[in-house]
């Protein structure tokens, strides 16, 4: 049975429709990446799955008893809040110290248990978030732009860690990413989102799909492809061109 | 023992310090300092209403603080920045409260007693209300501790763990209203926010975990209440402000020590 089934999901903020008729199924053990330009509804889709956003139509069904490990996009620890890595990892689940250590090991940062969260580097912080998500042995990991703020090498090694986690634990992975060239090779399946599902399939199939090319251009790079997309596409998308040009 | 007014005052101060400590930590972590201020300022309107309708001060202050806290939660994120919204509501409530008080002819009102507290006049029944309210607040926060912390760190993390962060926010808001209502008599509406923030902020330098920070804050708060009252007695100074002064001095000393020994980024 599928872990997550999304049927005809629509999400609206005020008068603005962010997601329209989105269908998606996540099977056990697969790595699925959602790609799409800014404002394409990627984060809204993830929020709808964890129940943080109420859909205005359609539904999200989770397999009964599904355990979700969630890695947020960014987590701000206020400097006034003293909290060690161990305490952070035991925040929501009653787990032993041993389980904390194991989870940190599978996330690639075994020695951080007693460190304060505010003393971690960007890369260490993301791995601690990953370790916390792994601690209750989830059926599926959800990652929202988990490599934001990491340099290219940092994010490449983070994705290798994700693949290793899947290999070792067999849990499914659903992630959002901007970094097309990096995630494409690591994914079993790619869903190209822009308010609706433009196309989906294996990375190779998606990369050659006309809808994907209309959205990202024919190049494989991220920023350049997005830029070109703004100037030569004729696919009907209503996202905000100015923010993307400003990002160039 | 409770016949002695100083003993009753000290117990009242400690009660407020215990409720304010864990709540104050969340106020500091979530950067809600101004929120505490706004709720407290609104309480003076509650005092005016209580005197008009001859209710207990506690009931009136609690009602207005609750309405205020819920209004702010509702209006947040709808056009105005949070601090603007709080500034408008807090000072309007304070102004309306002061004007309302002036209409109350025939009742002799010592406004100062409500602005700065009148801890030396705490009665046995006040003590019951203060400790009852403080126990309620501490129980609420201890019960929801992990969820409150998670929601403070990240909203999505809370949802993914299966609970609604907005409910945790509501629990904090309600606790704040209760704390404000019980603290009016002790430190007055102008200095309640100080009892929330100063002990928590002072505890930061000594704490390595959220739990120890709350406990140390409670210790600092209680110490400030005891020492401040003693000082007020000896030097014949106003009691509520004296308590806050002691807390501020503790904060400054711990801050200087932390500054001097700081080796972490």
- How far is residue B30 CA from its own chain's centroid? 15
Give every strand in the sheet of A140-144, ordered side by side: A68-71, A140-144, A172-176, A31-35, A189-193, A197-201
pLDDT digits (tens, 9 = 90+) for A56-89: 999 999 999 899 999 988 788 888 999 999 999 9
What does the pLDDT read at residue B104?
A: 75
> With contacts defined as CB-CB under 8 Å, which chain B residues touch A116?
208, 264
CA torsion through residues B37, B151, B17, B201, sign: negative
What does the pLDDT read at residue B151?
A: 92
Smallest Cα distance from A179 to chain B, Å: 22
> With contacts defined as CB-CB under 8 Å, which chain A residues touch B205?
none
Q: Total domain count for chain A?
A: 1
Smallest Cα distance from A160 to chain B, Å: 23
**What whole-number distance in Å separates Cα of residue B254 and Cα of residue A203?**
57
Smallest Cα distance from B184 to chain A, Å: 27
> With contacts defined as CB-CB under 8 Å, which chain A residues touch B156?
47, 50, 52, 70, 72-73, 144
Please check whether residue B47 is in contact with residue B62, taking contact to mean a CB–CB distance below 8 angstroms: no
**What whole-number distance in Å separates Cα of residue A114 and Cα of residue A117?**
9
- The two tokens of residue A123 are 């890369």
Three-state DSSP at B80 gives: coil
Residues 26-45 of B with CB under 8 A from A: 28-31
A100 Cβ contact list (under 8 Å, min separation 6): A85, A86, A89, A90, A113, A131, A135
Best B30, B32, B33, B153 residue to mutate vs chain A (most A CBs within 10 Å) = B153
pLDDT per residue as tens, chain A (248 positions) = 789 999 999 998 888 889 999 999 999 999 999 988 888 888 899 999 999 888 999 999 999 989 999 998 878 888 899 999 999 998 887 888 888 998 898 888 888 999 999 888 888 888 899 999 988 889 999 998 888 777 778 888 888 888 888 888 889 999 988 766 666 677 889 898 888 898 888 887 887 788 877 877 655 444 334 333 343 344 444 444 444 433 33
pLDDT digits (tens, 9 = 90+) for A134-149: 888 899 999 988 887 7
What does the pLDDT read at residue B53?
A: 82
- How far is residue A4 CA from its own chain's centroid? 15
Residue given tokens 């634990």 in the structure block: A169
Nearest to B208 among A70, A72, A82 (CB): A82
Residue given tokens 């099977």 in the structure block: A27
Please check whether residue A193 is in contact with residue A9, taking contact to mean a CB–CB distance below 8 angstroms: no
> With contacts defined as CB-CB under 8 Å, which chain A residues touch B147?
92
Pairing of strands A189-193, A197-201: antiparallel
Output the domain CATH number for residue A67: 3.40.50.300
Whether the per-residue pLDDT at B223 is higher than 60: the answer is: yes
For chains A and B, count residue pairs whose Cβ atoms are closer than 8 Å.
68
Minimal CA–CA distance to B19: which of B147, B171, B145, B131? Answer: B131
Please check whether residue B85 is in contact with residue B76, taking contact to mean a CB–CB distance below 8 angstroms: yes
Q: Which residues of A touch B (CB under 8 A)?
A: 47, 50-52, 68-70, 72-73, 75-78, 80-84, 87-88, 91-92, 116, 119, 142, 144
- The two tokens of residue A234 are 């004729």
How many residues can be counted in chain B?
265
Smallest Cα distance from B51 to chain A, Å: 40
Please give the model's pTM, rounded to 2 decimal places.
0.84
Please check whether residue B22 is in contact with residue B138, taking contact to mean a CB–CB distance below 8 angstroms: yes
Nearest to A80 among B28, B149, B209 (CB): B28
What does the pLDDT read at residue A24?
A: 92
Nearest CA in chain A to B145: A91
**What whole-number distance in Å separates Cα of residue B259 and Cα of residue B265?**
12
Nearest CA in chain B to A83: B209
Please check whether residue B115 is in contact with residue B63, taking contact to mean a CB–CB distance below 8 angstroms: no
Number of other residues whose CB lies within 10 A of the CB of residue B241: 18
Nearest CA in chain B to A14: B78
Please check whether residue B159 is in contact with residue A47, taking contact to mean a CB–CB distance below 8 angstroms: yes
- The two tokens of residue A71 are 């890695």
Q: Which domain holds residue A139?
A: 4-247
Number of other residues whose CB lies within 10 A of the CB of residue A96: 10
């Amino acid at each position: 049975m599928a872990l997550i089934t999304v049927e005809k999901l629509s999400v609206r903020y005020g008068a603005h429709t962010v997601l329209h008729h989105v269908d998606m199924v996540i099977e056990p053990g697969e790595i699925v990446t959602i790609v799409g330009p800014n404002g394409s509804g990627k984060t809204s889709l993830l929020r709808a799955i964890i129940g943080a956003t109420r859909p205005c139509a359609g539904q999200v069904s989770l397999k009964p008893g599904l355990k979700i490990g969630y890695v947020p996009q960014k987590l701000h620890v206020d400097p006034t809040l003293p909290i060690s890595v161990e305490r952070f990892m035991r925040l929501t689940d009653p787990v032993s110290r041993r389980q904390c250590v194991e989870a940190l090991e599978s996330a690639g940062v075994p020695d951080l248990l007693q460190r304060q969260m505010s003393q971690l580097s960007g890369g260490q912080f993301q791995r601690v978030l990953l370790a916390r998500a792994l601690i209750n042995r989830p059926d599926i990991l959800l990652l929202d732009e988990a490599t934001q703020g990491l340099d290219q090498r940092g994010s490449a090694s983070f994705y290798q860690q994700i693949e290793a986690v899947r290999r070792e634990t067999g849990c499914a992975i659903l992630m959002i990413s901007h970094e097309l060239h990096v995630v494409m090779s690591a994914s079993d399946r790619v869903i190209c989102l822009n308010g609706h599902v433009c196309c989906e399939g294996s990375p190779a199939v998606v990369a050659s799909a006309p809808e994907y090319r209309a959205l990202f251009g024919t190049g494989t790079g991220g920023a350049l492809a997005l830029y070109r997309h703004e100037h030569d596409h004729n696919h009907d998308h209503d996202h905000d061109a100015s923010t993307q040009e400003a990002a160039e | 023992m409770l016949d002695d007014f100083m003993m009753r005052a000290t117990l009242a101060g400690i009660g407020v310090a215990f409720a304010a400590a864990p709540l104050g930590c969340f106020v500091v972590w979530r950067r809600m300092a101004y929120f505490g201020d706004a709720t407290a300022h609104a309480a003076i309107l509650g005092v005016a209403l209580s005197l008009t309708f001859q209710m207990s001060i506690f009931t009136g202050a609690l009602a207005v603080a609750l309405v205020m806290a819920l209004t702010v939660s509702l209006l947040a994120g709808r056009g105005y920045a949070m601090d603007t919204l709080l500034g408008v509501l807090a000072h309007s409530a304070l102004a309306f409260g002061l004007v309302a008080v002036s209409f109350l002819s025939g009742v002799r009102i010592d406004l100062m007693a409500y602005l700065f507290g009148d801890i030396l006049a705490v009665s046995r029944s006040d003590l019951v209300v203060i400790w009852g309210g403080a126990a309620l607040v501490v129980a609420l926060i201890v019960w929801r501790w992990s969820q409150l912390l998670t929601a403070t760190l990240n909203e999505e993390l809370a949802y993914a763990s299966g609970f609604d962060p907005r409910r945790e926010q509501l629990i904090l808001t309600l606790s704040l209203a209760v704390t404000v209502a019980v603290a009016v008599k002790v430190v007055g509406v102008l200095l309640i926010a100080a009892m929330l923030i100063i002990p928590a902020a002072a505890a930061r330098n000594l704490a390595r975990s959220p739990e120890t920070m709350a406990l140390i804050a409670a210790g600092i708060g209680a110490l400030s209440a005891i020492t401040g009252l003693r000082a007020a007695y000896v030097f014949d100074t106003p009691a509520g402000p004296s308590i806050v002064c002691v807390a501020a001095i503790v904060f400054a000393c711990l801050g200087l020590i932390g500054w001097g020994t700081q080796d972490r980024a």
